[in-house]
Amino acid sequence: MRLWGGRFESGPADALARLSMSVQFDWRLARYDLLASAAHARVLHRAGLLDDNEVARLLAAIEELSRDCQTGAFRPSAADEDVHTALERGLLERVGSLGGRLRAGRSRNDQVATDLRLYLRDHGRRIIARLAELQTALMDQAERHLAEQTPAPGMTHLQHAQPVLLAHQLLAHVQALARDVSRLRDWDKRAAISPLGSGALAGSSLPLDPEAVAAELGFDAPAANSMDAVADRDFAAEFCFAAALAGVHLSRLGEEVVLWTSHEFGWAEIADAYATGSSIMPQKKNADVAELARGKAGRLIGGLAGLLTTLKGLPLTYNRDLQEDKEPVFDAVDTLLLVLPAMAGLVSTVRFHAERLAGEASTGFALATDLAELLVRRGVPFREAHEVVGHLVVWCQVNDCDLPDVSDEDLAKISPHLTPDVREVLSVTGALAARKAYGGTAPERVAEQIAALRAVVDEHAAWAGS
């Protein structure tokens, strides 16, 4: 079915119909389109454009159609151009010409912008709920390894830098995901504007009530400018950005998992349920979940870039280009809802090798900074302390030993500042405990960090469920 054609003598060419068609991807807006239709029917009734009997019959038909969509009894046909067309056909089939009265004061332009906002606000909450599950999985691992005080070699440039608590590193990922959640919640405030009542672009001459429709659909307010309302897709682009950045965070976590579970690192082993094998190499256990998390960031970023490119040259107001807004946002939703549960499962079941981590935490002269800072506390200028410890490191490299293994005499030969008691700070436990300023890796700071994050994540999850 088509919603236009009165002024045309011939029907559309097949090539046009195929190009124009969006129902194959926008059908997922059906639920939201019907919600908006029910709200619009009530507004038409209050405006005196539908009598009591008509609005009751229309609302009953919308409800029936909604059930039939859910059960699959009603499906779009090959001739329905988009979701709005298919649903109007569904209404006409149920209540005859009365179904056509719903179009008064409404255009697909304000309708589709409304549907997409409703869909995204709903799915933003679902994504937040899944993000909270991944954060919880990370925090549970962090808590377990805080209790065991499992250290890890903290890295910069992928080189051993300073020892950290494994928990601190895991929580760093939780922090990034917490920003993703707050970004989505912030986005939701701007998405909570209702375009309904804007009509095609200029508003309506009918006595509609945009405030009432907005409130009924859970929006904070109706749009202040009808032209902006039908032309604006900032909410879609911003959503894509929030999704893409979350995808980048998942990718970075995925990359870490790939490294941690490599033979060369040997920090952790993925549970069988979240690992894959090889069709030819029987010994293989691969981190495909983590790799797909990393790989799928590409399509999220691509979706954002594509949508921004679609929007950049558009004059006001609605242009059919805007139909291209849907696939990237739908793909972003699908991708995150696919990746997040898999990553949560992987993280909650991965087994860290605490002994290996403890053994590695101080290798690569990772305690060199602690020694330099000790000298600073004893009054040596940092520049000089840095150089003294640098000499010691070279000495160790030449003599193939670690910092604590150097004899008293050799220490003294390298520098008079290196008295035997400097060895006190050359322990991983000491190095961790010393970093006790706010935000540092000391156990008590990490414990506080977990407690604070638990509260934040609980609040996020509660918001998403509301």
Quote helix, strand, coil % in the chain, to nearest 5: 70, 5, 25
Three-state SS at 406 = coil
Query: Of the ranges 147-155, 255-263, 318-326, 394-402, which one interacts with ligand ARG (CB under 6 A)?
Result: 318-326
Query: Of the ranges 64-72, 187-195, 317-325, 410-418, which one interacts with ligand ARG (CB under 6 A)?
Result: 317-325
> From its phi and psi, is residue 96 left (phi > 0), alpha (psi between -120 and 50) or beta?
left
Query: Of the ranges 52-60, 263-271, 316-324, 420-428, which one interacts with ligand ARG (CB under 6 A)?
Result: 316-324
Under the binding rule (CB under 6 A), the answer on residue 322 touching ligand ARG is yes
Under the binding rule (CB under 6 A), the answer on residue 323 touching ligand ARG is yes
Under the binding rule (CB under 6 A), the answer on residue 330 touching ligand ARG is no
20 is catalytic: no
How many residues bind ligand ARG (CB under 6 A)? The answer is 10
Measured in whole angstroms, the distance separating CA 389 from the mean position of its chain's CA atoms is 43
Three-state SS at 430 = helix
CA distance 370 to 159: 17
Phi, psi of 269 (to 5 degrees): -130, 135
Helices 326-349 and 108-147, interaxial angle, to 10°? 10
Annotated active-site residue in 10, 157, 263, 279:
157
Shortest gap between Cβ of 204 and ligand ARG (angstroms)? 16
CA distance 454 to 435: 22
CA distance 162 to 148: 19
Cα of first residue to Cα of last residue in the chain, in angstroms, is: 38
In this complex, which beta carbon is closest to ligand ARG, that of residue 25 or of residue 265?
25
Annotated active-site residue in 77, 182, 278, 407:
278
Phi, psi of 296 (to 5 degrees): -75, -15
Q: Angle at the Cα of 189 (from 185 to 195), degrees rounded to 5?
A: 135
In this complex, which beta carbon is closest to ligand ARG, that of residue 108 or of residue 160?
108
Strand partners, 164: 152
Shortest gap between Cβ of 259 and ligand ARG (angstroms)? 43
Which one-letter DSSP state was computed for residue 320?
Answer: G
Under the binding rule (CB under 6 A), the answer on residue 251 touching ligand ARG is no
Under the binding rule (CB under 6 A), the answer on residue 318 touching ligand ARG is yes
415 is catalytic: no
Mask of contacts with ligand ARG, 97-116, x by CB under 6 A? -----------xx--x----
Which positions from 23 through 52 interact with ligand ARG, judged by CB under 6 A?
26
Under the binding rule (CB under 6 A), the answer on residue 198 touching ligand ARG is no
Mask of contacts with ligand ARG, 58-97, x by CB under 6 A? ------------------------x---------------
Binding site for ligand ARG (CB under 6 A): 22, 26, 82, 108-109, 112, 318, 320, 322-323
